[in-house]
Amino acid sequence: MKVLILQGSPRANGNTAWMAEEYKKAAEAAGHQVTLVNVSKKKIAGCLACEYCHNKGNGACIQKDDMQEVYPLMAEAEVLVLAAPIYYFTLCAQIQAPIQRMYCVNAPAKVKRMALLISSYSPGVYDGALAEFRDICNYWKVENMGAVTAKLDEQKTEETRQKVIALAATTLKAGE
Ligand SMILES: Cc1cc2nc3c(=O)[nH]c(=O)nc-3n(C[C@H](O)[C@H](O)[C@H](O)COP(=O)(O)O)c2cc1C
């Protein structure tokens, strides 16, 4: 399967990046084609709500920023993994921007399943992120394969690695 991982943390060696990399390794070991994009290093602005895409643009966004690199990857992905730290009780802005820029095409065309990787400092801060993720999966009519969360004492641990590997295995069920 074609797997796209959008990683939103600006910390290249941080906890979210580690989880995304572990997911990638597990998916590649199982023979899947994985593209991992650190969207925090890209210039991706928020949606302008100009409606160009739904009028003259015929599905194309008027903003010619780095989201133009992400659109074709989104169009081809069958599995989409979002990896983000919690910032102020929700998914970080760097991951919100590319999601909201999908407004022009509404939903990624081929994505069947989505999974979420989140890191945070504190426990019990995931309600907003999990609700948003659930609602996006429902809106895009894709299967919500669940999330792995890692608070401070769970970061870069073997237990979390195993949870990420298990999530990759269920998300990328063989033969489906
Ligand atoms: C702007 C900002 C806001 C944050 N807000 C929260 C928060 O609301 N709750 C929390 O538990 N941690 C919060 N954190 C901490 C990060 O979620 C946590 O350190 C996470 O592990 C960072 O992931 P990273 O290592 O991938 O960058 C915040 C960090 C930053 C920089």
Q: What percent of the chain has pLDDT over 90?
A: 98
Q: What is the pLDDT of residue 101?
A: 98
Dist. CA 148–CA 104, nearest whole Å: 29
Q: How many CA atoms lie within 13 A of 148 on its CB side?
A: 28
Mean pLDDT of the chain: 97
The residue-averaged pLDDT of 67-72 equals: 98
Assign 175 a pLDDT band (cuts: 50, 70, 90).
low
The residue-averaged pLDDT of 129-156 equals: 98
- Regarding the beta carbon of 123 and ligand 1, being less than 6 Å apart is answered no
Mutate which of 120, 148, 164 for ligand 1 pocket (most atoms within 8 A of beta carbon): 120
105 Cα distance to chain centroid:
17
Q: What is the pLDDT of residue 174?
A: 59
Q: What is the DSSP letter of 109?
A: T
122 CA closest ligand 1 atom index: 11
Q: How far is the CA of 151 from the centre of ligand 1 (A)?
A: 9
- Regarding the beta carbon of 121 and ligand 1, being less than 6 Å apart is answered yes
Dist. CA 62–CA 65, nearest whole Å: 9
23 Cα distance to chain centroid:
12
Domain definitions of the chain by residue range: 2-171
The residue-averaged pLDDT of 52-80 equals: 98
Superfamily of domain 2-171: Flavodoxin domain (3.40.50.360)
pLDDT digits (tens, 9 = 90+) for 70-114: 999 999 999 999 999 999 999 999 999 999 999 999 999 999 999
Assign 173 a pLDDT band (cuts: 50, 70, 90).
confident
- Regarding the beta carbon of 8 and ligand 1, being less than 6 Å apart is answered no
pTM above 0.75, yes or no: yes
Dist. CA 37–CA 101, nearest whole Å: 16
Residues in the chain: 176
44: Cβ contacts below 8 Å, ≥ 6 apart: 65, 66, 67, 70, 94, 97, 98, 101
